Chain A
Amino acid sequence: MKDASGGAERVLRYMNKELAEGAAAHRDRIREAAASQVQKHLAAMKGLSRPKAMEYFDSMADPFGPRAEELRKFKEAGGKIIGSLCYFAPAEIVAAFGAVPVRFCSGVYEAVHPANDLLGDAGLCPLVKSTLGLKMSGASPMLELCDMVIVPTPCDAKLKLGEILQDMVDVHLMNMPAVKSTEAGRQSWIGEIKSLLSALEKRFDRRLRPQMLRKSIQTYQRAQAAWRRFSELRKAGAIWGRDALLVAQLSFFDDIARWTQNVERLSGELEGRGPVAPDAARILLGGSPIVWPNWKVPLLIEESGGMIIADELCSGSRTMHDPVVVEEWTMDGMLVALAERYMIPCTCPSFSPNLEREQNMLGRIRDTGAEGVVFHVLRGCHLNSLDATKAAKALRERRIPMLKVESEYDEGDLEQVRTRVEAFIEMIKARRESSG
């Protein structure tokens, strides 16, 4: 198989010609299915009190749509696009080179099929399979534009995804330490960040000047500030959680300065507005990543009388919540600040002991007045499933109800999950009445 940039022949370890052809046959079907998944969920999100500023985000929502077209033009003009498959790869570094960072985790249901054909592992994380399926089939125009894909390796599925993808695209793996509380773990991660920088320098064939990185960090700091302001409004209930989550997700691939502007505009519109659903049960959504357009769980919660007032998802507020604070604006100082920002406060279940997770969850519950927790687990995500057990205990001790919801990348489990979510929210509301 040829390199995307027409480079050398790749050594195929997983793929073969038949598989590639088979996957390519899925392409149009995946595109159609993705488009209808996006449209269906967008239609479900449009309510009466939807802020006008959400129009921008709706228009950008299709990951195969307008933004992909923009990026195609950008690339034609000589621009570089670097994909990343997890939260951990600092977008600031990629953007500092003038390249566009695009974060990829796929929420397209249909795309799991090519990956199933290849791996035959029905139990594997659907998010990873879907991402792999997108690349195998070539369905995602944005993913096809990537010159290189950065794959951090927090979990087993992502670890192997990084390996399999090497059959199709240039991959830069980032070794994630599983223990981050030790100095050795921290140093190892700082080393990974530095090696990412040199890999990018090699690819772009130029050295990164500190001034460029500084500017890039500041651009993202503004985005983080905009998100903080927006989060406060969300806490007050001025916007539905499903909309807030979509806003967070679009930062994955949107032009970050434009995204920031639009978040500020949205916040401006929401300022002073009362809660959109004052009686709704205030829910904190946690657990496995929920990636647009896999909007099944957020929609279920909010259609059943709940409101996602806060989340602790790596695909949600974790993306933008923590600021990068640089104490020393030297190259080294900036890289250390970035490394620490992306790893140390992260509550990904791939870390052990992940003490921060329940602590952050409890802190956020206290801060937002959430009445219950929905802990979402993608089938096959053992790490989140295990963390759910731990979270359940911590929450039970504080008499905060929690519902663990397992889900797949299809709509087969929809009604079953709906029944459980409805019962959970009713229970929260009943508690409210009984406690006066």
Chain B
Amino acid sequence: MANMRLVTQIFGLILGNGMLIGLPLFGTSNILRHIYLPNASTKFFIYAPTYATLYKVQDTVFSGWNSMYIDLLLPLLIFVVLMILLGRVWCAWLCPLGLPQDLLTRLRRTLGVRHIEMAPHHADFVHSLKYLGLAVIVFYTFALGAPFFDLKRMWNALPVPYEQFDPNRAMYIYLQMAVGLAPPSTYVPLMSVLVAILFLGTCFAARRFWCHICPQGAMMSLFNKIAFVRLRKDPAKCTHCRICYRVCPMEILKVYEEREGTDVSSEKCVHCYNCVDNCPEDGCLSVEFLGKKVVESRYRCQCDEKGVRT
């Protein structure tokens, strides 16, 4: 399944986001520009066909005081529909930040370097930071834009936050410059460079660390309860071997611990399905879309595998 994901991730990176090669055709399409995706590219990319919803949210919350934020309606509606359809499947299968994280893990494993494992309660704490991040971003941009706060002069010191922090920006704009898509004079905020360095470091050391704290992920997590994609468990088939927890990059204990219920979808889950892939009990874990089984766990011998898994 990891290799399947690699394919969709590259597909997502190239087509959906137009980051490396850039797709002028999409880049000029006005219709596409209005379809914001849960975790597409940063809006500073040349030829990016569309942006992340979070950018639209930020921009509108900042500038929409006079228009009653009416501009937010359509993007949020699209976002909710996409969330109900796919939930955080975006994260493991399409996100342009997911791919480098998985590649870093592959690299680390090839080098035989130990990863940093977070204890469950630490992971829970780190997970909760993403909501804090999202709340700060939204509140700060709102405060910047709302006249009664009178914070306009803060703009120079600390402009709209996620545009500055987004590690995407530093990671891919330099690539675009290298292949000549972006002019060498393109501005990259220092903050983005720093976050990108932090991103590379932490995600090399810990599996999918960015996903733990990603504010876009936080937005998506809010809709976990109503998404059509569910992770299911048949507790009667579970031997409580803890493999699902060990292979989970998000350190989710619920799948391992559940003994009664059948729904083990978690708001922390990025839907990489490592657990389903590695569960040794046939039919114990499965992925459902609208009540229909898409894939379920099957015992297979790890000794037959080739290469490293992510």
Contact = CB atoms under 8 A, between A and B. Distances in A.
Interface in B203-254: 235-243, 246-247
Instruction: Describe B's contact surface by its main secondary structure.
Output: loop
A156 interface: no
Contacts, number: 76
Contacts of A275: none
A322 B246 contact: no
A42 interface: no
B242 A340 contact: yes
Interface stretch (A19-27, A81-89, A197-205, A355-363): A355-363
Given A325-B278, A330-B112, A222 B236 contact: no
Interface stretch (B31-39, B79-87, B142-150, B297-305): B297-305
A282 B143 CA distance: 71
Contacts of B303: 218, 221-222, 225
A327 B308 CA distance: 9
A328 B236 contact: no
Nearest to B244: A325
Given A336-B246, A340-B242, A322 B237 contact: no
Contacts of B246: 325, 327, 336-337, 340
A323 B114 contact: no
Interface string A198-224: 000000000000100000001001101
A329 B109 CA distance: 7
A345 interface: yes
Contact of A323 (B113, B302, B308): B302
A83 to B, nearest CB: 26
Given A210-B112, A322-B241, A359-B259, A327 B236 contact: no
B235 A359 contact: yes
A183 interface: yes
Interface in A83-117: none
B302 A322 contact: no
Given A322-B280, A325-B280, A221 B301 contact: yes
Given A222-B301, A340-B242, A359-B236, A329 B112 contact: yes
Contact of B114 (A330, A340, A345): A330
Instruction: Describe A's contact surface by its main secondary structure.
Output: helix
Nearest to A210: B112
Given A221-B303, A336-B246, A328 B241 contact: no
Interface residues of B, number: 28
Interface in A221-246: 221-222, 224-225, 228
Contacts of B157: none
Contacts of B304: 225
Nearest to A355: B259
Contacts of B292: none
B119 interface: yes
B130 to A, nearest CB: 24
A360 B284 CA distance: 12
A17 interface: no
Q: Which of the listed residues A322, A356, A363 has the most CB atoms from chain B within 10 Å of its own CB? A: A363
A53 interface: no
A279 interface: no
Interface string A323-353: 1111111101100110011001100000000
A396 interface: no
Contact of B301 (A321, A323, A326): A323
A29 B14 CA distance: 78
B120 interface: yes
A13 interface: no
Contacts of B299: 228, 323
B302 A344 contact: no
Given A362-B236, A363-B238, A221 B302 contact: yes
A345 B239 contact: yes
B115 interface: yes
Contacts of B109: 328-329
A366 B241 contact: no
Given A325-B278, A366-B236, A340 B241 contact: yes
B120 A183 contact: yes
Q: Which of the listed residues A323, A337, A360 has the most CB atoms from chain B within 10 Å of its own CB? A: A323
Contact of A344 (B113, B119, B242): B242
A10 to B, nearest CB: 40
Interface in B253-310: 259, 278, 280, 299, 301-304, 308-309
B74 to A, nearest CB: 42
B58 to A, nearest CB: 37
A328 B113 CA distance: 9
A18 interface: no
A344 B301 contact: no
A16 to B, nearest CB: 46
Interface of B: 109, 112-115, 119-120, 235-243, 246-247, 259, 278, 280, 299, 301-304, 308-309
Q: Which 10 A-B pairs have the closest CB atoms?
A: A225-B301, A345-B241, A221-B303, A363-B236, A345-B239, A218-B303, A344-B242, A325-B243, A327-B247, A356-B240
Given A323-B280, A328-B109, 13 more contacts: A183-B119, A221-B302, A222-B303, A325-B243, A325-B280, A329-B112, A330-B112, A330-B113, A336-B246, A337-B246, A344-B242, A356-B239, A362-B236
